[in-house]
Amino acid sequence: MNLQVIFFLASIVLLSSKLVFADSVYIDMVRVDGEDAGGPLGAIWAVDSWFLTLVTLNFKLSDVPSGSYQVRLHEMPDCDKPGDVYNPYGDFPGQRIGDLLSEMVPKNGALTGIYGIKPPTLTAEAHKLTVIEMRGHALLLHSGGNDDVLACGVVREGEWEDPR
């Protein structure tokens, strides 16, 4: 067997073994305040992308009041006491690793779409958040530029979840 064939087969084995460690989880989001507290808003499907380079969040939320929102991963798996924004690696200029994204919700109240979550700095050595790391934490939907929380979901411990 020549060296090229051996290299090709070894590459396939290494790449496929890396994909085995990818993870996926549904995060059921519920309202945390007001008369509708505890009511469902929908779900976010978090999936590791190929080679674990970033997490992809697939939003399917409805009845969200229009406006600006921030999605943040918090330290604790508790919607009543979520702790601080997840940031075990220290601050990067202007962003914590748990500051996942900011998004505008239109008047129809639908927050849908697929968003890739990039690390705070785009360098080879930057820490990339994975679904495995997200498990055991709370994901909060903060409204406006403040700390008002509209919704929360706990990222469950467990194994891969297929699309719903």
Does the residue 91 lie in any domain? yes
CA distance linking residue 33 with residue 18, whole number of Å: 41
The reported pLDDT for the residue numbered 13 is 46
User: 64-105: per-residue pLDDT in tens?
Assistant: 999 999 999 999 999 999 999 998 877 666 678 898 999 999
Mean pLDDT of 113-140: 82
Q: Give the single-character DSSP code of 79.
A: S
Does the residue 11 lie in any domain? no
Does the residue 112 lie in any domain? yes
**CATH, residue 68:** 2.60.40.200
Does the residue 160 lie in any domain? no
Which residue(s) pair with 61 in the sheet?
Answer: 42, 111
The reported pLDDT for the residue numbered 69 is 94
Does the residue 126 lie in any domain? yes
Residue that wins the pLDDT comparison between 163 and 33: 33
Torsion of CA 106, 27, 54, 83, to 10 degrees: 90
Q: Band the pLDDT of 159: cuts 50, 70, 90.
A: confident
Q: Band the pLDDT of 2: cuts 50, 70, 90.
A: low
Model-wide pTM > 0.75: yes
Number of domains observed in the structure of the chain: 1
Return the residue matching tokens 């469950």: 156
Least confident range of 12-21, 35-44, 108-117, 134-143: 12-21
Does the residue 96 lie in any domain? yes
CA distance linking residue 141 with residue 130, whole number of Å: 19
Does the residue 87 lie in any domain? yes
User: What tokens does 63 get?
Assistant: 């009845």
CA distance linking residue 4 with residue 98, whole number of Å: 43
Does the residue 16 lie in any domain? no
Q: Band the pLDDT of 58: cuts 50, 70, 90.
A: very high
3-state DSSP call for residue 133?
Answer: helix
Domain that holds residue 139: 23-155
